[in-house]
Structure 1
Amino acid sequence: MRLKSIIFLLMFINNYAQTSTEKNEVFPIFPICELLPESKLADCFSETMQEYIDDNFFYPKQAWDLDLQAIVRVRFDINENGDVSNVIPKASVVGVSFKQREALNAARQLFQISALEIINSLPKFTPAKVDGVPINKTFQVSIKYEIPREASFDEVTVAPLLEGCEELEGDESRDCFENGVTKHISENFKYPRKALKNQIEGDVFIQFSIDEFGFLIDFTTVGPDKVLEDEAYRIMSTLKVEKPAQLNGKNVKMTYGIPISFRIN
């Protein structure tokens, strides 16, 4: 189950006693950073490490199903050969308490196995060096496993359910939702009399959220005149949503926006 992780500041620990400020240390080098000057290697290492963990992050399915969340602090070495070694993950389960120690340890283990797999999959590095001599260097990263309560329209695995969109997922679900919204606007559109009388026309962009219970909330409108904005709100506030959006089986809040065009023929 692949989601985006939240990674805190990458920490590193020097594994040698620096007795002189003249020593020249070179950071471990990701393959993608090899052509950069030495002054840029530390930043490239940190940025690439974050991207790598984010790209390879996965949520343990059992933890996801049980609504478990955690922060895993992972300590590891990049040794003199450029290999990742001595990987030690330590998970802190958050937002829930366990009556039995065994249950807590089992929950921790779910996250620790995930974090261990991510870090163990790191590529071979050019090792850190001091005065040209390869050294072992120790790092620590924190990976946050958090079940999202909100997702974008492009991220949801099932769009909010409108009539006629049952049993659809992914792109088909999103397409059906968009078509349903367009149909709803067409069937409920009325040009405000005041706008007609005063020759007011233009586009109103309306944005709203569908919360994890399927209710429409947080409406905002931007348009050329309040009378058109009010009509756009009236139209969209009557949209019937049968079920909220889902992300991998979890109900989530989703925000959606669409322009409504008012033109006097």
Structure 2
Amino acid sequence: MRIILKSLMFGLILLISAGVSAQEDKVWPMAEYMPCMPGCESRKDRNERRDCTKEKVSEHLIASLKYPAEAKKAGEEGVAVISFVVRKNGEVTDLVIDEDPGFGMGAAAMKAVKKLNKLWVPGEHLGEAASVQMKIPVHFVLPEVEEVQSAAPASDVYTVVDEMPVFKGCEDKSVAESRQCTFEKIMEYTDENLKYPEEAKTAKVEGTVRIKFVINEDGMLTSPMIVEGIGGGCDEEALRVLNSMPPWKAGIQDGKAVKVEMELPFRFKLRGE
């Protein structure tokens, strides 16, 4: 699964190869019941068990996966594929980066998958616990920050100013550097806080939530307004994250702090088999 705020999120698919032969301690490429996450083992229907596991693995990865700074700086995206074995005791071993798009993405994906160690319920084959080979593709997608480009309205709320509002932590940088810093800080903030609503997951709701808002002269975020919604709880989640942001450094026009209208798109995208 990948959550994106024109800012990031990330996607997940469990890929399972075929072919079996029976012998003790063998690593099976497929089992009658594949390894799953706790809470999914009661699902005897294989598809339900798989979907339950994908959802729970996605939740774990969303919480632990970090976009590499090197990839952010270079504006790189990609898919890292990690193969591993879930042993009979639920331990994750033999982790290998099968596909690495570079820029630190392979290592970041490996680190996140390692955190799933001992969380798995072992697979079963021929009536016994079995060690099973699995793969997880981890998608890295950069978010984007958009600014509304138009002339200053009569209400003195600007959309383009000499110095655009700056996110917390970027105040001491040059105008050019602060723009890139703001982009990265917003991305980091949303990566850590944006969650895919369960209602949207269940209903397979995807799309982009666009929210306009104003940064006041004191740097406070005000007047959020959804200009494009998709439902399924995604609109409310995007608003929640936006409203939880810390104060900004206000925009500057002609040497004075002014109100500036901006827009952020929050993209919600599910990834499945």
Q: TM-score, normalised by structure 1?
A: 0.49
For CA contacts below 8 A with separation 6 or more, give which structure has more relative contact order: 2
The structure whose residues are more often helix, as a share, is 1
Larger Rg: 1
